[in-house]
Chain A
Amino acid sequence: MRILFIEDNKTKAESVKAHLEAFKHVDSLTLKESFTSGLRELFTNEYDALLLDMSLPTREGKLSKAVNNFEQLGGYKIMSEMKRKNKIIPTILITMFSEFGVGKTFMNLEELDSMLQNNFKDSYKAYIYYSSQDDNWKNKLTLQLESLV
């Protein structure tokens, strides 16, 4: 299984990567850190699964922090683009956030899940809540990936 992981947090990326190294079905894991590099990779090469962070910078690079570069729902934009271009890849959301938005745009993880299921039913599979303080996410991720094998 060729997996693309779009994630800008190195610690999280490393621990997911370390976990997946033990997963026998994973042939390769490619890491991209932003909306643009992730999409470019997605549309340039073939992947069997996409692991996606929801909050991403638009672009990588040392100056990326100089501009308003952080999108809390950057992952949503990636899924929108996949849908727009009819690119269907099983997608699992891995997020550190349990709540999104403020005020009228406020959503908890379950509500986001429901929205993603509605809007991207062909590609969206599930969400996994990642926390560096516990290991619950590991089993969930394994189960989700096994279901894709």
Chain B
Amino acid sequence: MSAVLPTSSATLVPRIGLLSGKSWGAVVFALIVVAVIVPLLNLVVPAGSAFHASDYAVQLVAKIMCYAICALAMDLIWGYTGILSLGHGVFFALGGYAMGMYLMRQIGSDGQYRLPMPDFMVFLNWKTFPWTWAVSDSFIAQMLLVVLVPGLLAFVFGYFAFRSRIKGVYFSIITQAMTYAAMLLFFRNETGFGGNNGFTDFKRILDIPIATPTTRMALFVITGITLIVFFLLARWLVNSKFGRVLQAIRDAETRVMFTGYDPLRYKLAIWVISAVMCGIAGALYVPQVGIINPGEMSPAASIEIAIWAAVGGRGTLIGPIVGAFFVNGAKSWFTQAFPEFWLYFLGALFILVTIFLPQGIIGLVRRKTKEGA
């Protein structure tokens, strides 16, 4: 290697802004759509009109936006750091459960049994709340738990796993074990989280009725803004020095170690950040969908998160968001139009994307524009 230092900064990667001007424009546009246009179309425009955005569509899009946050989180650890997690669903679900606990307390005495305890505790003959529900009455405390519980689990699991240098396929398999064990635990009614029924039949949030169009729209707007904010945050992360080390770890971890960095710290940090992002997504998901149940922790659900990132295009941040919308949109359409063919489509998508489109949809578009330009 030459000992001559480069005279110009041409070989160093140029310092660039967060996004190009055109992209900032797109972000602002998206913000306006989410925060202004959709609420108008849903709340103000009358129901019969062709421009009305139906409640069903709004809720569907909100759900997909939550999924998109998960896909974004997956891109951070897989696309940029090379860690494939097949257990991210557990963080999503834990955040969802934390929010769900608060919403269950908000039902108050309006449940089937007219008692201040959730129905499932009544039929288990419990007279007092278990210790896990100690702060479930307070919104602030539960929101802290939305962040802390997935974060803590990620920290503990990640610390021990990364310290033992578990990598690659082995790591993916034990994340499966983690989410599977959590799912089994939550399916037990004795664990105190509603078992197979989960939490449902929510009535209020912050003492505002939850089933009204305004509440739903407010949640939609919050979700949309969260997605955009997380996107910008992720962009900032990967463009920083921290992000560069992550990409280096993805490409050649041993070399990074020899260069003097401790991969453990970086991997652990991004792992916890991505887990917390999923947790927040889960917390936004639950009040909008109206139910949380251990099925969200199933290994299959976590694998789907990986596929959204893969289909959209790993390592691009916008790709997974596109992927999440594409796959979930297709799912919604297929299960209505051709229910028997949905799994064929999904399976074929997995196979074709991994073999022919390793860069995903974004990669495909990029190639086309490059060829065209």
Q: Do A and B bind each other?
A: no
Interface on B for A, CB 8 Å cutoff? none
Interface on A for B, CB 8 Å cutoff? none
